[in-house]
A and B are shown apart, each in its own frame.
Chain A
Amino acid sequence: MGIDSIKSYMSELLKKGQREDGRKIFDYRKIEVEVNPLARACGSARVRIGETEVLVGVKMDVTKPYPDSPDDGTLMVNAELIPLANPDFEPGPPSPQSVELARVVDRGIRESGAIDTAKLCITPKEKVWTVFIDIYPMNDDGNLLDAAALGAIVALKHAYIPKYDEKEEKVLYKELTKEKLPLTCLPVMTTFGKLDGNVFLDASRREEKSYDGRLSIATLENGAISAMQKGEAGTFTEKEVFELLGTAIEKGKELRGLIKKV
């Protein structure tokens, strides 16, 4: 079947409020969250949304702070779209897609102030903790964004700060303290697709190949929104955006429920 016939088939289904895998318009696939599957990371998570699987690891290191925020720890988010996860991913320098993925996850966390960076200061102007979040999809069956964002916040929530030997100025990477990485809130991402004017949640890879555009919305438990990003060449109307903000806040509660359970 060519992409156009798949597209018109999906469009027909969506018009009737259906999806090819039997889901309703605003249903997530089954979400599974595994906490700290990786022993070498400070914190980690494996998130499955249907057949999409993402591994997120948090590592920490001591670095010099940025001159404009001398008392704050820093955050770095990186995504490696490794060719193992999707036949369309190619080896080589970071693709625009991987840069966008990492930066959207970064903004959802950074802009919400979820990481209490003031508590990550060791010596003002000299030494602060940098939190590295690395995202590795293991299987891409669509909606890497929500899976990565969920994995990132779960990994952060269960991360412990490594020991730091102040005399030797060395991080003892293999020894984690009992001190948890300080978090203030739980931002989660919900991503909607749009195909022929029909809006839906959590696109599978087949749906992603057909959809015109997507809109990601990061929400917090207080009902605020901390990041948005429209992606791909499709468009959204004002009315659609306003309605999706409400849906994102509701769906965010579901996702946060999952985080609190694990």
Chain B
Amino acid sequence: MGGKFGAPDKMIIGGKRLDGRKPDELRPITIKAGVIPSADGSAEITQGETKIVVAVYGPREVFPKHMSIADRACVECRYDMASFSTPERSRPGMSRRSTEISKIMAEALMPAIYLEKYPKTKIDIYVEVTNANAGTRCAAITAASVALADAGIEMRDMVVAVASGKVDGKLVLDMFEIEDNFGSADLPLAYMLRKGEITLLQMDGELTKEEIQELVEMNIEACKKIYAMQKKALQDKYSVEKKAMPDAGEENGN
């Protein structure tokens, strides 16, 4: 894939990447829980320049009714890119890429949810990419887990996701746009740490079996770091509310 139009001559110089990171270094990540008051749960994530908002609605009544499942909840995800999120304006609405990502995202999150606790209901996960700079499906899954927890939905574990790939012949973690566009392979992975289960796995490019093993292990190491940030995002939101509680109690008492 090298030699593509507009590709930089070198993407790794002196062991450092174009944005100054080491090969196995994540971009700066911030996660915030509870950003959309209308939603039952929500979260916002920034990962480098990638910025995504996720809202969870439900468990709620299923519409259309025939989609409802007698013994568990159904989960639907809608991954959408805002028209201004990409260098060139993208056409609003669902592309084929968005349709596929929506499907695999729902499938990546479902193993973590106690679906059987919410029979005949639906959980909607709405993802809006407001600024895209690579790694959006993984960042969206990471944020969606926080939003699901924020909605109070019972879960086995958080799902954490990150991508890695091959750039200039080197294996690197969490590519940004230039690396993503001109790299030679991309491997997004979502993981449940407590059970050691991979809930999303994709790959495109050209890699050997050994390189895939190395990337999978690198992703899982990074997932451990992001997992801590997910937990902190939830703690931040709910510890603030705890502090506010005594006031509310006094008011009730009066």
Contact = CB atoms under 8 A, between A and B. Distances in A.
B208 interface: yes
Contacts of A112: 206
B204 A236 contact: no
Given A228-B212, A237-B197, 14 more contacts: A96-B102, A99-B100, A225-B206, A227-B204, A229-B202, A229-B203, A230-B201, A233-B107, A235-B111, A238-B216, A238-B217, A238-B220, A241-B212, A245-B209
A224 B212 CA distance: 10
A249 B209 CA distance: 9
Contacts of B207: 224-225
B205 A246 contact: no
A12 interface: no
A85 B109 CA distance: 30
A107 B99 CA distance: 16
A69 B182 CA distance: 12
A225 B203 contact: yes
B11 interface: no
A230 B104 contact: yes
B200 interface: yes
B197 A236 contact: yes
A235 B198 contact: yes
A235 B216 contact: no
Interface string B177-191: 000000001010000
Interface of B: 1, 4-6, 96-97, 99-100, 102-104, 106-107, 110-111, 185, 187, 192, 195-209, 212-213, 216-217, 220
Contacts of B110: 233
Contacts of B5: 67-70
A223 to B, nearest CB: 7
Given A235-B111, A238-B217, A99 B96 contact: yes
Given A70-B5, A96-B103, A234-B111, A241 B209 contact: no
A interface, size bucket:
35 or more
21 contacts: A67-B5, A68-B4, A68-B5, A70-B5, A100-B99, A111-B205, A224-B206, A224-B207, A225-B208, A225-B209, A226-B204, A226-B205, A227-B203, A229-B203, A230-B107, A230-B200, A233-B111, A238-B216, A241-B198, A242-B209, A242-B212
B208 A230 contact: no
A238 B99 CA distance: 27
* Of B6, B204, B213, most A-chain CB atoms within 10 Å: B204
A237 B213 contact: no
Nearest to B185: A111
B254 to A, nearest CB: 50
Given A100-B100, A233-B111, A235-B198, A228 B192 contact: no
A29 interface: no
Contacts of A227: 202-204
Given A236-B197, A236-B198, A246 B209 contact: yes
Contacts of B1: 113
B107 A232 contact: yes
Contacts of A256: none
A211 to B, nearest CB: 13
Contacts of B197: 235-237
Nearest to B209: A245
Interface string A89-102: 00000101101101
Nearest to B102: A96
Interface in A53-89: 67-70
* Of B102, B187, B202, B216, most A-chain CB atoms within 10 Å: B202
A203 to B, nearest CB: 16
Contacts of A113: 1, 206
B203 A242 contact: no
Contacts of B192: 235
B4 A69 contact: yes
A100 B104 contact: yes
B103 A228 contact: no
A240 B115 CA distance: 25
